[in-house]
């Protein structure tokens, strides 16, 4: 796992902040209603997000392991998986920039799994301590999300479970600032992420990096 891959995964998480506010911001903000009113919300918010990032890391390890097995048995699989990951990141750039919303169809593929496990999360409500927020966040980390799915294809092409897990770990850490801001009610920061110029800048950078990955895979 090179430093550039770790940095890129972290940046993609930050770039997806706009999307994260839309998908999970309301959930994070609503956590206050299920936490003890006489306790600070931050420990619960951090526990929720730790569980969410843990689910991303586990998914990255699984997809990384699958990709490793595929490349060991099918040599051509590595460039093919790299090409797929580049294309998915390009679709993500289109999604973030609102140039094309095709990832909505990919998100629909994960609804069945989430529908099956989502009721389990209710067992941890209301939160009696931050420990209850951790498994709750872990379950909600499997919420169908085109941003997560796009990054998972990068884990798939990473070559190992460790690298796949690292990619998703740093991706998850990149999404953290925006969701913490949503929890704290920081409208200034949220408005900044939602600003059209900021959205387009992030989208263009992600698109350029995706094109680089596609070129490298083809080469």
Per-residue model confidence as pLDDT tens digits over 39-72: 888 899 899 999 999 999 999 999 999 999 998 8
Q: Residue 194: CB partners within 8 Å, gap ≥ 6?
A: 18, 21
Considering the chain, what percentage of its residues have pLDDT values greater than 90? 31
pLDDT at 187: 62
Residue 192, judged by CB atoms within 10 A of its CB (0-12, 13-18, 19+), counts as middle
pTM reported for the whole predicted model: 0.88
Quote the pLDDT of residue 18: 67
Q: Which two structure tokens, joined as six digits, stand for 111?
A: 């609804």
CB distance 173 to 53 below 8 Å: yes
Span 86-106, mean pLDDT?
86
Please state the separation of Cα 111 from the chain's center in Å.
16
Could you give the number of structural domains in the chain? 1
Give tens-digit pLDDT for 99-131. 888 877 887 777 888 888 989 998 998 898 999
> What is the domain extent for residue 55?
3-218
pLDDT, residue 158, reads 86
């Amino acid at each position: 796992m090179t430093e550039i891959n770790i940095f890129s995964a972290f940046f993609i998480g930050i770039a997806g902040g706009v999307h994260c506010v839309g998908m999970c911001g309301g959930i994070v903000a609503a956590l206050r209603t299920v936490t003890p009113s006489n306790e600070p919300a931050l420990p619960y918010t951090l526990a929720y997000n730790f569980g969410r990032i843990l689910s991303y890391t586990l998914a990255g390890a699984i997809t990384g392991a699958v990709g490793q097995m595929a490349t060991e048995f099918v040599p051509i699989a590595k460039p093919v998986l790299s090409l797929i990951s580049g294309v998915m990141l390009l679709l993500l750039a289109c999604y973030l920039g609102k140039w094309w919303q095709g990832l909505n169809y990919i998100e629909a593929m994960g609804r069945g799994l989430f529908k099956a496990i989502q009721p389990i999360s209710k067992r941890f409500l209301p939160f009696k301590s931050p420990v209850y927020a951790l498994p709750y966040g872990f379950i909600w980390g499997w919420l169908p999300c085109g941003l997560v799915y796009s990054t998972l294809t990068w884990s798939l092409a990473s070559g190992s479970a460790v690298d796949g897990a690292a990619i998703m770990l740093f991706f998850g850490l990149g999404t953290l600032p925006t969701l913490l801001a949503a929890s704290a009610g920081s409208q200034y920061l949220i408005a900044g992420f939602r600003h059209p110029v900021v959205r387009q800048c992030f989208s263009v950078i992600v698109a350029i990096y995706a094109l680089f990955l596609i070129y490298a895979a083809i080469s």
